[in-house]
Amino acid sequence: MKDDKGLYYYPFPHNIQVRMYVRETGGGICFRLWNKNDPQMWEKHGWVPHDVIRQASAVYAYKNDFNPNNAYDIETAGILIEEDRHAGV
């Protein structure tokens, strides 16, 4: 999906108030979280490269049943970016 902020997917399908935006920069994929119930989140937290997320998830150890690799889904992000690239052809 795409809006004025860019490409996004729902990292928690049961909660469409939260969106994960994705973009490609310098060959890498970056993520940025948006939450309708916390509009300041977008301003407080910038784009995070997938490599940083991967490193942090190793330390996080999946506390509280939260798996960062599911929320920051590199495969979904890649598909969205590729589809958007072909849509402009």
Q: pLDDT for 28-40, tens place per residue?
A: 999 999 999 999 9
What is the torsional sign of CA 79, 82, 3, 89? negative
Q: Rounded to an integer, what distance in angstroms lies between the CA atom of residue 71 and that of residue 11?
A: 5
Residues 54-66: tens digit of each pLDDT: 887 777 655 556 6
